[in-house]
Amino acid sequence: MNIGEFFTKQNLKFTFLDPFNHFEKKETALEVRKDLITGTVSRILPFRFRGYERPPIEDYLKKSPPDKCPFCLPQRDQLTPRFTEEINPEGQFKRGEVVLFPNAFPHSHHNTVAVMGNAHFIPLEEINPWLLKDGIIVCLEYMKKMKKMDSALNYASINWNYLPPAGGGLLHPHLQTVVGEEPTRFMETLILGARTFRERTRRDMWSDYVAWEKERGERFAGEGKKTLWFSAFAPRGMAGELIFILPDTFSLLSLTEEDILSVSEDLSLVFRYLSRINLISFNLALYGTLLEEALFPVQGRIVPRYLIRPLDTSDVNYFEKLHGEVICPFIPEDMASGLKDFFHAS
Ligand SMILES: [Zn+2]
């Protein structure tokens, strides 16, 4: 078994009479890609790609001004939950301008919100690495504390819905952590995939994946001090998907402050790239274990999200919702080459 066998492509052709060319016969090509590690199926439709438009930030700010925001001061002190004394006697974890507290609408039995600073809205290209670093560190401090209280908590993630197209309900920048005894379904899929790969080949799936993508080069998007960046072969979003891996780090708790700053610098660079192509909303997850787990290096994924004009149509449709397959007009290799230029220029 070779890692390349996990990634398959099928070319399809579609023929129709084109109303924009005197109803002459026209043939278009699309590609069905399967990533058997993640179980993702994506349909790459390059003929649909027309670039992106920025979502209406001014409208968002009008509808959700600072005085109505529970994360802005002074409301934050009255409206956000506090931890019980055994978790944190101060009720919150703090680091620099970042404050972490329990999620009032929890998705899990250990679920928090980390508000990143006092500014109600920060444009994507202005999110700086120091703020991100403090955001990640405060999440990890919470995780360390929870792990100390319950050693069975082994899986965690730091997550971000940035802006409404990505499901963000508040403009104020905030991360969310999820910690549990069991991995989430996607993390479990990756861990089981790596385990099966090891059993069958006695090899490490992640090392083979990184080597395979680096050798091919077409989806290898750049390299930070700790991270390797790739565009996903079969993206999980209509605007593609970026993957970053920290190949030698096997627990979130073993990240040093220097590592976190370096990852934050990469993220800030990637955000500037996404903003440059008008993709200013995303879902982000940084996944890791809270134990040294060789089957799962610390890694993250970013799925940019956008609205389709003129109706502000959602980028999730029946194919994704009801068939579990993603329509993607943005060729993954084009995303990698755009980001590569940014890495080279920095
Ligand atoms: Zn606010």
Based on the domain organization, do 36 and 180 belong to the same domain? no
**105: pLDDT strictly greater than 90:** no
**What is the distance in A from the centroid of ligand 1 to the CA of 77?**
12
C-beta separation of 175 from 156 below 8 A: no
Based on the domain organization, do 92 and 14 belong to the same domain? no
For residue 138, the domain's CATH number is 3.30.428.10
pLDDT for res 274: 97
**48: pLDDT strictly greater than 80:** no
Under the banding of pLDDT at 50, 70 and 90, the label for residue 114 is very high
**What is the distance in A from the centroid of ligand 1 to the CA of 136?**
19
Based on the domain organization, do 40 and 74 belong to the same domain? no
**Average pLDDT in the 1-10 region?**
94
pLDDT for res 1: 78
Based on the domain organization, do 222 and 170 belong to the same domain? yes
Q: Which of 67-71, 141-145, 292-296, 298-302 has the lowest mean pLDDT?
A: 292-296
**Average pLDDT in the 196-207 region?**
96
What single-letter DSSP state applies at residue 91?
S
Based on the domain organization, do 32 and 147 belong to the same domain? no
Based on the domain organization, do 44 and 62 belong to the same domain? no
**Nearest to residue 299, comparing CAs of 192, 202, 211, 206?**
206
Sign of CA dihedral 259, 138, 157, 229: negative
Q: What is the CA radius of gyration of the chain?
A: 21
pLDDT for res 345: 84
Based on the domain organization, do 67 and 41 belong to the same domain? no
**What is the distance in A from the centroid of ligand 1 to the CA of 113?**
13
User: What's the rounded Cα separation, in Å, for the pair 307 and 213?
Assistant: 30
**What is the distance in A from the centroid of ligand 1 to the CA of 76?**
9
**What is the distance in A from the centroid of ligand 1 to the CA of 119?**
7
Under the banding of pLDDT at 50, 70 and 90, the label for residue 47 is confident
H or E, element range at 305: strand 299-305
**What is the distance in A from the centroid of ligand 1 to the CA of 167?**
16
Based on the domain organization, do 110 and 65 belong to the same domain? yes
Sign of CA dihedral 214, 220, 225, 226: negative
Under the banding of pLDDT at 50, 70 and 90, the label for residue 106 is confident
**Average pLDDT in the 130-140 region?**
98
Look up the domain containing 25 and give its range.
3-48
Based on the domain organization, do 132 and 26 belong to the same domain? no
Based on the domain organization, do 65 and 40 belong to the same domain? no
**What is the distance in A from the centroid of ligand 1 to the CA of 233?**
37
Taking phi over 0 as left and psi of -120 to 50 as alpha, with beta for the rest, 154 belongs to alpha
**What is the distance in A from the centroid of ligand 1 to the CA of 339?**
30
**What is the distance in A from the centroid of ligand 1 to the CA of 277?**
26
Under the banding of pLDDT at 50, 70 and 90, the label for residue 346 is confident
pLDDT for res 203: 96
pLDDT for res 50: 79
Based on the domain organization, do 310 and 213 belong to the same domain? yes
Per-residue CA distances from 67 to 76, 77, 114 (Å): 10, 13, 19
**Average pLDDT in the 213-240 region?**
97
**122: pLDDT strictly greater than 80:** yes
**Nearest to residue 224, comparing CAs of 90, 139, 129?**
129
Total domain count, the chain: 2
Based on the domain organization, do 332 and 238 belong to the same domain? yes
